[in-house]
Each structure stands twice: as structure tokens, then as C-alpha cells.
Amino acid sequence: MKLQLDQAITAGINKILTSAQLSSEMIAMINSSLNADSETGELFQWAHLTLMNCECVSGVFEDALPGAIAMELSALAIDIFDDIQDQDHDDLPWRQIPTAHALNLASCLSMLSYEAISMLPDDRDSRLYREIGQILSHMWITCSDGQLQDALFDTREQVTLDQYFELVKHKSGSLTACACKIGATLGGGSESLVLQLNQFGTYLGIMSQIRNDINDFLDFDKKKDFVNHKKTLPYVYLLNILKGKQAKQFKELTQLKGNVLERFGKEEQGNLQQLTLDEGAVHYGRVMYELFRQKSMEIIQAISVPEKRKEKMIKLVKENI
């Protein structure tokens, strides 16, 4: 079934690309970028999240296919913009081409997502098209503002934990909330059910960001979060929890300038790693992850749909950090 679904998503994307009459160069960039960042090899993760919510609400997922494709294309565009801003994930296709090409690729993908929702079944007053379009637009607006705040945070010496979680809600949370809301809406969910799954998506996005922050903070080979002063959860936690000598040590590490590879070497990396573990930054992240996982589970348990339809959602929430 999953293979057939992936084939249907691929066919839908190819139809949109053909209809848009894009250049061969743009099509090649899009095809090389789709699923390039999947660590598990699973295809079209954002499309599947959208379809999962539709199936949870209605028992079927076919009606949500155009919305799922729109979500997949939008999420890829946002990933590209994010990696350009953060200057990381250098191994991905859009980081191995000129920045101008990558920006045009992301812009094209964002517009193609609206081409995807034009494939929704015709209804007399175009209500579905307008509604899904509004959900998608709201996500883009919220994510863009979140990206700006993320960049502004990098220039600030102090960020509170409350500010961190508010940012993550607007950035990562709005993306997953959009997928869940589109799926629930196309599944014909009631207003209250759609709102519940929208909130579920927000929590899911926050969980994902916490997981990424914990896993990436000390990954000095692939990520540049610390040297770029990214206000990830471990960074913000240490900013707020450290006192005295430890606070001074952390501040000195954050102020290293010049040639990063020379100034932030193995010794400094080891000091940061020890400080992170000693002061409980990872433990705090895991506790917060569990808190939002519990909130997510409570929503799934509370929604008024047959228990059988909740199984995939529950499995998703139970994923380990």
C-alpha cells in the first residue's frame, strides 16, 4: 500500500511539473532535492503526515492527495530557505549549488504547492480550494516570521526558555500543524476536530525541534549551531541555568571569534560537551520532549474517531527521542 501511495504522490508531482512547463534545469533541481534529507529512507514524510490525519478523520486518504503534495513541496521549500539561512547541511543538493539557484528553487517550490491544491476536486463555491489555500498561506506567513525571529535571536546575548518555546511553536510547530490541519480538513473533520489535530501538529513540531536540537548541539562535524550562536534548546538552557564560574566558561566559549576551526577546536568542543552533560542540558531536553509527547497523546486519546484510526498517530507519537 505504501509503495502504491508513494507512486501516486510521485505521479501527482510529475503532473504538476509538466503542467508548469518548467525548464529542464529546474525540474532536475527539484527531482534531486525531493526526499534528499530523509535520514530513514522513507519517502514523502510530509505528504504521509497529511494523509495520516485525513485517514484518522475519515477512514480514507485519497481526497487529501493534492493537499499532501502541496505540503510536501512547501516543507521542502522551507527546508531550503532554513539551510541557506543557517549555512548548514552542506551535503544536501540545494547546498551544493549556487545560493541564487537554491533561492529560486525554493521560491518555485512554494508556488508549485499552490498549483497542487488547484488539483482538489471541484466544488460549487470553491470552498475547499480557498480553505486549504488559507491554511497554507497562514503557515508560510508564520514560518517566515519565525525564521526572522530565529535570525534575530542569533544576535542576542540573552534569550529566555519561554521565548525559545514561543519561537519553536511558530517555526517548527506551524509546519506540522499545517500538515495535520490540511489532512483533517480534507477528511471532512468538524471544526473542533480540526482544531484538535492542529494543536496535535503543533506539539509534534515542537517535539521534532527538541529532538533535533539535542542531537545536533554536539554534532560539530555536520552542524554549526553553536559556533553560529543558534539559540537551540541546550544553548538557551545553559544561558539561563549557569551561574558563576560555569557561566563565565560558557560565555567565553560563545565569544570565540576569528577562524572557527582554529579557535573552537577539540579542547573547546570537549569543554562544551562536559558542561552540557554536567549541567543537565540533555536531561532537560528529554524531559520537555516527554512533556509534549504526553500532551500529544492526550489529544489523540480524546478525539472522537474510532480507535482503529488512531493507531498510526499513536505509533508516531511513541517514537523515541
16-65 per-position pLDDT tens digit: 999 999 999 999 999 999 999 887 888 999 999 999 999 999 999 888 99
219 falls within a domain: yes
112 falls within a domain: yes
Residue for cell digits 551544493? 96
Phi/psi for 263 (5° steps) reads -80, -35
Q: How far apart are CA 102 and CA 243, in angstroms?
A: 42
pTM score of the predicted model: 0.92
108 falls within a domain: yes
Phi/psi for 98 (5° steps) reads -55, 145
Instruction: Tell me the pLDDT tens digit for each residue of 162-196.
Output: 999 999 999 999 999 999 999 999 999 999 999 99
Residue 201 contacts residue 173 (beta carbons within 8 Å): yes
Q: Could you list the residue range(s) of the whole structural domain that residue 171 is in?
A: 2-242+279-317
How much is the mean pLDDT over the chain? Answer: 92
Measured from the Cβ of residue 151, the count of other Cβ atoms closer than 10 Å reads 12
Q: How far apart are CA 18 and CA 22, in angstroms?
A: 7
266 falls within a domain: no
* The pLDDT of residue 253: 86
Region for 244 from its dihedrals, namely left if φ exceeds 0, alpha if ψ lies in -120 to 50, beta otherwise: left
274 falls within a domain: no
Residue for cell digits 503542467? 19
25 falls within a domain: yes
CA-based radius of gyration for the chain: 21
217 falls within a domain: yes
Domains identified in the chain, total number: 1
Measured from the Cβ of residue 159, the count of other Cβ atoms closer than 10 Å reads 18
Q: How far apart are CA 75 and CA 36, in angstroms?
A: 12
Which candidate, 143, 289, 295, 150, places its Cα nearest to that of 207? Answer: 289
| Joined grid coordinates for residue 84 | 541557506
Buried/exposed code over 194-222 (b: 16+ C-beta within 10 A; e: otherwise): bebbbbbbbbbbbbbbbbebbebbbebee
* The pLDDT of residue 261: 47
* The pLDDT of residue 268: 84
| Joined grid coordinates for residue 129 | 480550494
| Joined grid coordinates for residue 38 | 530523509
Looking up residue 31, the CATH number of its domain turns out to be 1.10.600.10
| Joined grid coordinates for residue 1 | 500500500
Tell me which amino acid residue 122 is.
Answer: D
DSSP one-letter string for 25-73: HHHHHHHHHTTTT-SS--S-HHHHHHHHHHHHHHS--GGGHHHHHHHHH
272 falls within a domain: no
Regions of the chain where pLDDT drops below 70: 123-125, 257-262, 320-321
